Amino acid sequence: MREPETVLALPHSEIGFDAVLREIGDWLMRNQRAIRATQWGVVVAYLTLLVVPTLLPLPTRTAHIWTNLTLFAQFVFWGLWWPFVLLSNVLVGRMWCGLLCPEGSLSETVSKHSRGWAIPRWIRWKGWPFAAFAATTIYGQMISVYQYPRPALVILGFSTVAAIATAALWGRNKRVWCRFLCPVTGVFAVLAKLAPLHFRVDSQVWDSWAKPHGRGPAQLVNCAPLVPIRTMKGGSACHMCGRCSGYRGAVTLARRSPNQEIVHVAGHDPRPM
């Protein structure tokens, strides 16, 4: 429940910062087409760096990341991409998932033409994130995924193909793979609990909202990762895509204490039906 008197007591600089965050969230909501174009740029770069090095000879000892595509791809994947994604989850929540992740973009696009089957209970098993993360990490070490391009194609390519196959069968316009099966979703969910930013939902404002007179039907929000927005308390499952920002005047990008979700939300995060 929002407390107006607390907001009024904040210094003007902090109130201004809150307004900036609100505007950033609304900007994300208004510019979904540009975000989708950026996502496809990431998909093309991801597939290029994943597939092309497997077609080239292994680099020589004198090769450098700026002169050899295989070494450059390894540097991007394991020296930049993975550390950046982990750090971004701690700082801004799961914005990588919602704005840039190539697997998420591909799976949601494919799901538009999905068979639309109901999500079976075995997919919802809570142990999948840990099991998938452990399996890919152990197997990746066994086949030297960090040193050679073909093992990287096996690990990352299998994950991408599995995401597409899942999207083609279950759900429609949703990210079923990201929500339940992605090998790193469990890690990202834990790190996102520490993020000082989240989309805050005021359930009282949501319930008291009335459609403006003369407007057409209220526009619905498609939450691709299957988060029940109205009852969302934390950010561990939210992909921070901004689609719901400003919805019913109750959803805003806001700051919070890094321990807020751990102390007040743990064990109470609602799950999709």
Q: Are 133 and 228 members of one domain? A: no
> Is 41 in the same domain as 155?
yes
Picking from 132, 94, 20, 14, the residue whose alpha carbon sits closest to that of residue 261 is 94
**Residue 132 and residue 80 in one domain:** yes
List, in sequence order, every beta strand (DSSP E) within the chain: 197-201, 251-255
Task: Tell me the two tokens of residue 5.
Answer: 């008197």
- Residue 272 maps to a domain: no
Q: Say yes or no: 47 and 26 in one domain.
A: no
Number of domains within the chain: 2
| pLDDT confidence tier of residue 260, bands split at 50, 70 and 90 | confident
The pLDDT of residue 191 is: 95
Give the CA radius of gyration of the chain: 20
Q: Supply 190's token pair.
A: 């834990």
* pLDDT, position 259: 86
Same domain, 87 and 16: no
Whole-number average pLDDT of the chain: 88
Q: Are residues 38 and 25 in the same domain?
A: no
Structure tokens given for 53: 């090095």
> What Å distances lie between residue 187 and 56, 120, 190, CA to CA?
33, 23, 5
Structure tokens that stand for 217 in this block: 């039907």
Q: What is the pLDDT of residue 270?
A: 54
Domain that holds residue 52: 33-57+64-191
Nearest-angstrom CA–CA distance, 27 and 47: 29
| pLDDT at residue number 16 | 86
pLDDT of residue 262: 80
Of 174, 206, 202, give the one whose Cα is nearest residue 273.
174
Q: Please tell me whether the overall predicted TM-score, pTM, comes out greater than 0.95 for this model.
A: no
| 270 within a domain of the structure (yes/no) | no
Residue 236 corresponds to which tokens in the numbers above?
């561990």
Tens digits of residue pLDDT in 223-238: 999 999 999 988 899 9
pLDDT value at residue 2:
40
Q: Let me know whether 97 and 26 are in one domain.
A: no
pLDDT tens figures, 6-29: 333 444 455 688 899 999 999 999
Answer whether residue 100 is part of any domain. Answer: yes
